[in-house]
Amino acid sequence: MAYGVASGALKAGVVIGLAGAASAEVTVAALGDSLTQGYGLAQSDGFVPRLEAWLQEQGADVSVINAGVSGDTTAGGLSRVEWTLTPDVDAMIVALGGNDLLRGLDPGASRENLDGILKAADVAGVEVLLVGMEAPGNYGADYKRAFDGMYGELSEKWGVPLAESSFLGALMQIEDRQAAMREFMQSDGIHPNAEGVTVIVETLGPDVLDLVERAE
């Protein structure tokens, strides 16, 4: 009889343990630049808190860490990815390249940096969502082809999903660009305002939700 009680207690403990493991919070690090960091916005209006709130509204038990640094290039992201990937991090969003574009950096160098970031995530066993950026046409067709294409190439190489939209893609695809700039962008024309962040989160949110589910 004592054996039966112990066995029952053991089974109950296992069930409780499994339930606890199943509901464990997933921690996602958002590695990026000022777009991720929330430049020019109230803290609650930034990409990371808005994304976390959206994910939780979908029923995800998730915490999103703001690993965005204003002005960071892909090289900057590579230099700090090791200490971003703490043991608590289960998944990572990689959204870098905007400052490489602003500086007209060699896409080949940007590709190597992103490759290094994805390698670090692979070594750490962390799930990744890669979010691309789009080069403007004024750098020339060859530059744009190399820059835009590197995200898909790295996604295939490392077997990580590439978000269906680039970070600012949802805003850039609005037909009336001038109206979109007035409604969704800050006065610098580079960073989204609070309304723009809402559109971005609603666009990228489903991809991040998939990331969370993979990391559970």
Active site annotation includes 165: no
Total-model pTM: 0.88
Catalytic residue among 72, 100, 165, 191: 191
Active site annotation includes 79: no
pLDDT of residue 172: 87
- Answer whether 28's CB lies under 8 Å from 64's CB: yes
pLDDT in tens, 44-57: 999 999 999 999 99
What is the residue extent of each domain of the chain?
A: 27-215
Task: Indicate whether 5 pLDDT > 60.
Answer: no
How far apart CA 73 and CA 113 sit, in angstroms, is 9
Least confident of 5-19, 60-74, 131-145, 161-175: 5-19
Across residues 102-123, what is the average pLDDT? 98
Q: Grade residue 23 by pLDDT with cuts at 50, 70 and 90.
A: low
Task: Indicate whether 175 pLDDT > 60.
Answer: yes
Least confident of 1-5, 127-131, 178-182: 1-5
User: Which CATH number does 27-215 carry?
Assistant: 3.40.50.1110
Q: How far is CA 25 from CA 17, 56, 62, 175, 216, in A?
A: 14, 11, 5, 39, 8
How far apart CA 204 and CA 78 sit, in angstroms, is 23
Active site annotation includes 61: no
How far apart CA 153 and CA 190 sit, in angstroms, is 26
Rounded to the nearest integer, the mean pLDDT of the chain is: 91
Taking alpha carbons only, the member of 59, 55, 57, 5 closest to residue 30 is 55
Catalytic residue among 34, 155, 165, 166: 34
